[in-house]
Structure 1
Amino acid sequence: MRKIWYLCLMLALMAAPAFGSVAHAKDMKVGFVYVSPIGDAGYSYAHDLGRQAIAKMPGISGTSYVESVKEGADAERVILNMARKGYDVIFATSFGYMDPMLKISKKFPKTQFMHCSGYKTSSNMSAYFGRMYQARYLAGMVAGSMTKSNKLGYVGAFPIPEVIRGINAFTLGAQAVNPKAEVRVVWSKTWYDPATEKEAAKSLLDIGCDVITQHQDSPAPQEAAQERGVYSIGYNSDMSSFAPDAHLTSAVWNWTPFYEEVITKIQNGTWKAGSYWPGLEENIIGLAPFGKMVPQDVRDTVNARKAEIAKGAHHVFAGPIYDQNGKEVIPAGKVATDKELLSMSWFVKGVVGTTR
């Protein structure tokens, strides 16, 4: 009997530290830095949906965010403030936050830093993005199918590889179903400026574009299309509520599965800092529901191509692909590498505009 009692006592003592460690485990604080307002129905809004999902996860003591943070010195101040306040994970969601975050990451080695859309990393700073060009290609297929003028308008933010890559993918998608389609580009040099972006969209409508899309956070180009009675394709999130009679679909972000995976792995100690670029196969990007005006045959064609891309049977940037001047940039039989995609600085044939 005494032997049994002693064995039970030892088992209890051995178990006590384990139970104690769970009960007193440090809950994580997670911070987000946004370049635009979360109410813009755009890029920051999409990220914030992911933040809200994280807030409901076990082991999270709280999440917070700072919106409309300018790239540069302002971003450094906000990220540093979060690190000093003991945030365990900090997500910075704009390209211009990269260098400030890298600098700060070296001063806070116990914090995990996550930078969206950049390429620099450190032992505790990861770079992540999604293969949005895949959804852009699909959206281009819709636009190419629905245009009557064969002129598609694209309001671009800044001439950086991310935006150029999206314009090229959109153009290739349009040409896949309509070889006569061309894409006219106007640069707004903004991420979020509804008035400027709406005027840029109007300038494209004035030259005969009958489908408008954009790479900015506001739904202003959608509204311009609605007012003119032509079609539009949104970005970041489903923008149909802003242009119900114009909206064909949107190329959308779904950050929730990625953010939940990151937090889970950090919690269980399996997260490894690095570069991450998931796509359709992981449901990080996709299309919003089609508008009622999109015919069933167009939907079927686009959904079939979506399935091919998701399983790796079709590559958006597979040769032969030619630039604006007719030069073969990606030869037949070749697929652009990630390095080539991440540094893309040229337009494909069919784009009317300059990369500056």
Structure 2
Amino acid sequence: MRRPLLPPTLALVFALWPSTGCHLLLDGEPAAGIGAPCEQDSQCQAAQCIDEVCASPCSTSAECPAPATCTMAGLCQLPLRAAFVHVGDPATEQWTQAHEIGRQAAHEALPYLQTEIATNKLLASDAASAIDDFVARGFPVIIATSPTLRDVAALKSAEHPGVKFLTCGARSSATSNNIAYSGRMYQAAYLAGFAAARRSATDRLGMVASLPTPSVVRYINAFTTGARRASPAALVEVRWIGFWHDTLPPDAQGKTRERVLTEALLASGCDVIAHQADNGIPVATVAAASLTAKAIGNNVEDACRDDATSCLGATYFRWGPLYTQLLDGIHRSRWPAATLVELGMTLNPAHSTVNFTLNAGSGSSELAIEISNLLQELAAEGGETVPFLGPLCSTGQRDLDADGTPDCLDPGQAPDPQELQRMCWFVEGLVEKQDPADPTSEDRPALVPTTGDCAR
């Protein structure tokens, strides 16, 4: 028997998915058992146990019993059809581009995989129509690649219980056929914050925040704790877009909100600016506006490509390994036992769902060594290390017992998993301007807006 091709470091805990597995059992037929899970050849009828799935060698699809096809690997295998529903256009939005890169990587790794995409499905009605179309055409797997789609994916998963749904950034689902998947991007943000503070000459960093959600807050907090590990005096000024990107036309000066906020942070003295927009506008704005300030890109590995001299590095997703693991599990008639699959950093970037990379020439070799050492810490404990260890206090919103007095984390204490998933409070060191229109106005402790997922 040939052993699985997937790296052991990517292994997830899977449970057997009952009665709906992708396998073709045709008793008495020449290639019966194709697609069935196996451990040895004797368990396959007129086929071989290859990578723990019954398959048979072939040169053309004519040699395979329908619906099996001859894959590029030269094996008769049942195809797996998966539909990806994107909120944006991968040509213009880096968030969607990251997921498209991941889809293509899964294609390369899984010869039996067949996929289609639907783009620009930001509106729930458009996403619902796309999902209904894919289901009507027989796609057994739907992948919603943005937390914006979580509600429509939850609704459609209840309507189509025989279809498996994977929803990026969703909360735990009430339906067994819909799981959430994500990466611990706050770990990458911790490294980015450390690098930013090491590079800063002013101890004042900027953050162009997107939408108030626990995942966004975790990113901002981790960036801040990383920065204050490098420089305890570091401050991070935060300004909010109000969505994943500016959805309104540019202002009278032709500026998007991402650009306006980035310029405001530069005007208040921030000399390294990170962001969480779907696009690269903050990085481009820093490059155009300042000869000394640096930016930190987001979402994709080459986020610094167009503005290399002013870009310090990038936090980014590598969805390919996770998509490969999840889709291969489905093809083997397995389904994750957990309602949330959330992977942390690994030492090998090629296998890590979340990463931080220093841009070439942007930092000293000493900084690169420091980042490597911090990565060792984060990758420990199976990539579940949390960069929020006490003593750590909030700017006023962490009040677990609701007694009106903010609670701090004791030395060595970390938020429990439930609190981490609903984190809507800022750590000390985050500030906002008393008058956002006046960059010279006084700082005050920043608070997470109590809207959306962080409404109280």
Q: Same fold judged by TM-score > 0.5? A: yes
> Match for residue 190 of structure 2?
137
1:331 aligns with 2:410: yes
Matches within 5 A, 1:272-283: 272=336, 274-281=339-346, 283=352
Q: Give the share of equivalent positions with the same residue, in percent.
A: 29
Q: Does residue 183 of structure 1 match 2:236?
A: yes
Question: Aligned partners of 2:283 and 2:29: how far apart in 1?
Answer: 63
Cα distance, 1:293 vs structure 2:
2.5
Aligned partners of 1:120 and 1:84: how far apart in 2? 26
Change in Cα spacing, 1:295 to 1:328, as seen in structure 2 (3 Å) is farther
Give 1:222's match in structure 2, choosing from 283, 291, 298.
283
Residue 319 of structure 1, CA deviation: 1.4
41 and 94 in structure 1: CA distance in 2 versus 1, 3 angstrom threshold: closer
Contact 1:41 1:239 in 2 (8 A): no
Write the letter of the residue equivalent to 1:257: P
> Which residue matches 1:5?
none
Contact 2:184–2:354 (Cα < 8 Å) also in 1: yes
> CA offsets per residue over residues 187-209 of structure 1, 9 Å max, x none?
01132338221221111111111
- Asked whether the equivalents of residues 219 and 242 of structure 1 are also in contact (C-alpha less than 8 Å), the reply is no
Relative to structure 2, which stretch is displaced further, 288-297 or 196-205? Answer: 288-297
Q: 1:16 deviation in Å? A: 4.5
2:274 maps to what in 1? 213
Matches within 5 A, 1:177-326: 177-193=230-246, 195-227=256-288, 228-229=290-291, 230-237=293-300, 238-272=302-336, 274-281=339-346, 283-312=352-381, 315-325=386-396
Of 153, 171, 174, which aligns to 1:119? 171
Instruction: Tell me the alpha carbon deviations over residues 99-150 of structure 1, each in whole angstroms, 9 at most, x when there is no partner.
Output: 2111111222221100010113221111111000000000000001001111
The equivalent of 1:6 in structure 2 is none
One-letter code aligned to 2:305: S
Q: Of the candidates 103, 122, 133, which is equivalent to residue 70 of structure 1?
A: 122
CA deviations 1:61-112 (Å, max 9, x no partner) are x312122221433322222222222112111121121121111112222211
User: With structure 1 as the length reference, what TM-score do the two structures score?
Assistant: 0.91
Q: Which residue in the other structure is 2:200 paired with? A: 147
Count how many residue pairs are aligned between Structure 1 and Structure 2. 344
Could you list the runs of 5+ residues in structure 1 that have no partner in the other structure?
A: 1-11
Instruction: Give the structure with the higher percent helix.
Output: 1
Matched with 1:3 is: none
> TM-score normalized by structure 2?
0.71
Contact 1:36 1:192 in 2 (8 A): no
Partner of 1:40: 92
| Cα RMSD, aligned residues only | 2.1
- Secondary structure of 1:318's partner? coil
Higher relative contact order (CA 8 A, sep 6+): 1
Return 5+ residue gaps in structure 2 as ranges.
Answer: 1-26, 33-44, 48-53, 56-63, 69-77, 247-254, 398-405, 432-445, 450-456
Letter in structure 1 aligned against 2:127: A
